[in-house]
Each structure stands twice: as C-alpha cells, then as structure tokens.
Amino acid sequence: MKIDEKEIIRQKEIMDKVKTKNPAGLLCKIVTLGCQQNESDSEKLAGMLTKMGYGFTEDSENASLILFNTCAVRENAEKKLFGKIGALKLLKEKNPDLLIGVCGCLPQQKVMEEKFKKSYKFVDIVFGTHSLYRFPEILYKAISDHKAVRDIADIEGEVSEGIPTLRSNGIKAYVSIMYGCNNFCSYCVVPYVRGRERSRDYRDILQEINELSKSGYKEVMLLGQNVNSYSGGLDFANLLKKVSDIEDIERIRFMTSHPKDLSDEVIDIMAERENICNQLHLPVQSGSDRMLEKMNRRYDIEHYMGIVNKLKSKIPDVALSTDIIVGFPGETMEDFEKTMELLKKVRYDTIYSFIYSRRYGTPAYDMPDVMSEEDKHKNFERMLELQNSISLEKNKALVGTVQTVLVEGLSKTNKLMQSGRNEGGKLVHFKGTNDLVGKFVSVKITEVNTWTLTGELI
Ligand code: 5AD
Ligand code: SF4
C-alpha cells in the first residue's frame, strides 16, 4: 500500500518548519553503513535534509547533526557502529547542541531498544526503516523538545512515493523497485528489519527513470532484496523491458536476484537488449546442497548450475558475481570443499564472502557448530586466495581488448587517472581529461590486477 499523499505533503510542510526554525548554514554528516538499499535510503535522507536547509560535511567537528544509517546483517556492522557512536560522546559533551541520530536496520531490531535507552542515552534520534518518510517530523520534535526521540514503527507493508532525493552521483542512479523480503533464509535478519515484500507501482518507477534520463543519467541500478519477485503491476521481466525502452538510459543493472526466482525470460531479455548490462549478481551462499537446505535457500546446486550454464550460453561475456557464507552452523570440511569446487566451475568475476555471523531472532541462531572459528577463518582465507587467482586470470584475458567505459571521474587511488566501469562492472583506469566524465569512451586494456583494469583511451 502507498503511504497517503497527504502524509507526504504534511512531512514536506514540517521540512519548511525545520528550515525556518534552524539558523542558516547548519551542516549534517551522514554515515552510511551496509548495502545499496541503505545508500539509496541515505540519498532520501539527504534530499529531505536539503529541503530542511541543511548542507553537508564529512567533518564531525563542523556538523550540527550526525546521522548513522545502519546495517544489521552481520555483527561486525553493529560493532563498527557502536564504536563510532561511542567515539562521539566526548564531542557531544563539548558541543551539547550537536544532534546524534541512528536510523536504518539496526534500531528496527527489538533487542536494540533497551541498548539505546540504557547505554546510549546521548543519542538524540533513533528511528527504524519503516519510519524513514517521517524523518522530518522526528527531527523537528528533537529540535523543538530538546529531548531524545525514538520512533520504531512496527507498521510495515507500505511504500512511500514523493520523498525528495539528493543523489550522490550524477551519472548512475539507484532506483528501488521494491522493499523487504519474504524469503527468510535461516541466517538472515533482513525480513525482520525491512519487513515483507512490497513493490512500487511500475508507473512510479518508470516516471522516476524517465526523469533521471532527462536529467542526464546514463545508468540505473534497479534495487530490491529479490528483484525477481517484483509485482508492482507487471512482473520483473516486463518491468525490465519497459525500463529498457526508456531513451538515453544506456546501462541497466539490477540486484539482487534469487536463484530460485530468476526466470529464463529475464535471461533472454538480458541477452536481447543492448542496454541491459551483461552482468549478474547471483548469490549462491554455499556449494553444498546440505547447507543450502539448512539455509532455507530453496534451490540446489544442480538448479543453480542450470542457470549459470544458460547465462553463459546465451550471454558468453556475462560477468558473474556471488555472495558466499563461510562457516554456517553445521558446515563440515566436506561441505566447504564443495563451495571451492563450485568457485572453480563457475569462475565468478568477483565474490563477496562473509564468515557466518549469528543473528538474534533468526532460525539459525541456535543451530550448533561443528567447525572451530580458527578453521572457519582458514577456510575463508583459502577461498579468497582461490578467488583472487580466478579474478586475476579472468582480468588477464581482457588485456588487449577494447572496453566501453562510462567515465565517473578521477580515480580515488590515483589522482592522475580517470576511472569508470565497463559493462561487466569492472573498474577501469585510464589517462583522460575531466570533460569525459559522464561519457562513454573506448579504452584498450594494457595492464590488470585482481580488482582493476588499466588502459589507454582510443
Ligand atoms: N552472516 C554472514 N553473512 C550473512 N549474509 C546475510 N546474513 C548473514 C549472516 N548472518 C550475507 C549473505 C547475503 C549478503 C548480503 O550478506 O551472503 O547474500
Ligand atoms: Fe536475506 Fe535471503 Fe532475503 Fe536475501 S533473500 S535478504 S539473504 S532472507
């Protein structure tokens, strides 16, 4: 269900009230942890803050509001956050007018409520994922009442349209097409903190992308926890076709695809349409059927390899990436070796691997371990070593080829070089001028390492 338009208008009126109440020149520092969905939510926070008269800073000392948009997927994200907040306590004592806010997935967990109340009293604003659209009201309350505001709504199943957005990039844009997840993989906290699946109306999505195209965006990334079960008036395959018909959007990517739901039709559309990138993120999590069953993934390796083979035969240059969890409860060396075999068979371009982290409230929380933490870490390292050698080999095969690169600006690591990405999503460095930013150029690859390609403009 859509959040009532009147409610969004009411929030916009509150934005004006904050703007008149605050002195000009206030700055906010937004710290985004976690996934692309969070980055996309932070762009909405930034959009609302702009309308409320805030500017932005990276420097905590200059900020009058520091806002953490948090992740709850693994324990280290939580530790990182509390470390960062703890470090601000002194600053807050020095500057009592400083507002500190925490939002996103972490506070949406019930267990966090007490923690904020007891140990992090100096945090002024706490709100969860379902309250994002109410941020203006929450901030206004904190400013006017000079006391902590905690707003963890339980209501879910809603989609909000019309929230102002300040995108961090003028060339490629994240576009959420759906929110939440119904899959309940046994290790994962996402369905609990982001709620059940709900899709945006396809007309709202198309309107947003049309506007992006008119403002000069060249690339869109369609976002959802499981885009293949999109159901906003069209199925995902038909949404993709309509997005692909929009003029001047030259690259379309989407994530994440669940292997149980990726249809042949989507693969065919990827193969047929020029502007849908030959790139797919297809999380496998484990190479062992026994583990996949315990993870509640609802596919087996035979099914997964069926998709991979179809992709490779229809789109020979497809760039594949995946997520892997090492050390899921009950994983044996034999299970782990099956994941290693899978990596050798699929030969992904990139993998994102994680050591399993127990998440309170998930079905896997109580499942017993059979492997020591030390062995899990050793396996993790072995896996990275294997994947690094595969990534390097795959990159070496690109030496001498010409790659089409969408230029994004000066490289973060080498200020003498421009950087951008090829169709497969790989980072490419080359010598070039700033006027190329936002354009597609051809780069002949001359050198590679595990993670990046370097070449010459042709
Ligand atoms: N522990 C480790 N990794 C996890 N992921 C999700 N939950 C956990 C967990 N509890 C990983 C999965 C998912 C990615 C986004 O994060 O691999 O695909
Ligand atoms: Fe988590 Fe599974 Fe949903 Fe992905 S599909 S968000 S891993 S529950």
Per DSSP, 325 falls in state E
Alpha carbon nearest to ligand 2 atom 1, residue: 188
What six digits make up the tokens of 2? 């859509």
Burial 356-389 (b: 16+ CB within 10 A, else e): beebeebebeeeeeebeeebbeebbeebeeebee
CA of residue 154 to ligand 1 center, whole Å: 23
- CA 15/CA 302 separation, integer angstroms: 53
Same domain, 375 and 448: no
> Do 232 and 141 share a structural domain?
no
Residue in 188, 257, 379 to alter for ligand 1 test, most ligand atoms within 8 A of Cβ? 188
* Ligand 2 atom having least distance to the Cα of 323: 7
Q: Which listed ligand is nearest to 182 at the C-alpha?
A: 2
Ligand 2 proximal residues by C-beta, below 6 Å: 181, 183-185, 188, 190-191, 225-226, 258
Q: CATH number of the domain at 299, please.
A: 3.80.30.20
Token pair of 143 as six digits:
């400013």
With respect to residue 38, please indicate whether it lies within any of the assigned structural domains.
yes
Q: Examine residue 163 and state whether it is found in any structural domain, yes or no.
A: no
Say if residue 432 is in the same domain as residue 341: no
Q: Cα(227)–Cα(243) distance, rounded to whole angstroms?
A: 14
pTM over 0.85: yes
How many CB atoms sit inside 10 A of residue 12's CB?
15
Whole-angstrom CA distances from 348 to 12, 267, 285, 336, 387 are 45, 17, 13, 17, 8
Number of structural domains the chain divides into: 3
116 lines ligand 1 (CB under 6 A): no
* Residue 218 belongs to some domain of the structure: yes
| Average pLDDT for runs of 10 along the chain of length 458 | 86 90 89 96 97 96 96 93 93 92 93 87 93 94 89 77 93 97 97 94 98 97 97 97 97 98 97 98 98 98 98 97 98 98 98 97 96 98 98 98 97 90 98 96 97 96
Same domain, 105 and 242: no
Q: Helix or strand or coil: residue 443?
A: strand
Ligand number nearest to the C-alpha of 324: 1
| Cβ of 315 below 6 Å from ligand 1 | no
275 and 131 within one domain? no
Q: Are 108 and 69 in contact (CB under 8 A)?
A: no
Looking at ligand 2, which residue's alpha carbon is closest to its atom 5? 183
Domain membership flag for residue 157: no
Domain boundary among 368, 396, 424: 396
Q: Which pLDDT does position 153 carry in this prediction?
A: 76
> Among 184, 185, 322, which is best to mutate for testing ligand 2, by the most ligand atoms less than 8 A from CB?
185
Residue 5: predicted pLDDT: 86
β-pairing, 452-457 with 427-430? parallel
> Has residue 156 been placed in a domain?
no
Domain membership flag for residue 357: yes
Which ligand is closest to the CA of 376, given by its number?
1
Six-digit token pair at 227?
């885009």
Ligand closest to Cα of 179 equals 2
C-alpha separations of 272 from 249, 278, 308 in Å: 16, 10, 17
Ligand that lies nearest to the alpha carbon of residue 361, given by its number in the listed order: 1
Q: How far is the CA of 365 from the centre of ligand 1 (A)?
A: 13
pLDDT of residue 140: 95
Distance CA(177)–CA(161), nearest Å, equals 11
**Ligand 2 atom, smallest distance to 258 CA:** 5
In a domain, 158, yes or no: no
Which residue's CA is the closest to the ligand 1 atom numbered 16?
Answer: 73
Q: Are residues 214 and 338 in the same domain?
A: yes
Instruction: Please check whether residues 376 and 431 belong to one and the same domain.
Output: no
pLDDT score, position 157: 62
**pLDDT attached to residue 310:** 98
Which residue has its alpha carbon closest to ligand 1 atom 7?
188
Angle at 303 between CA 302 and CA 309, to 5 degrees: 85
Q: Indicate if ligand 1 lies below 6 Å from the C-beta of 187.
A: yes
In a domain, 106, yes or no: yes
What is the domain-level CATH number for residue 37? 3.40.50.12160
Most ligand 1 atoms within 8 A of CB, residue of 79, 185, 187, 286 to mutate: 187
- Does the Cβ of 323 fall within 6 Å of ligand 1? yes
Range of the domain at 232: 172-396
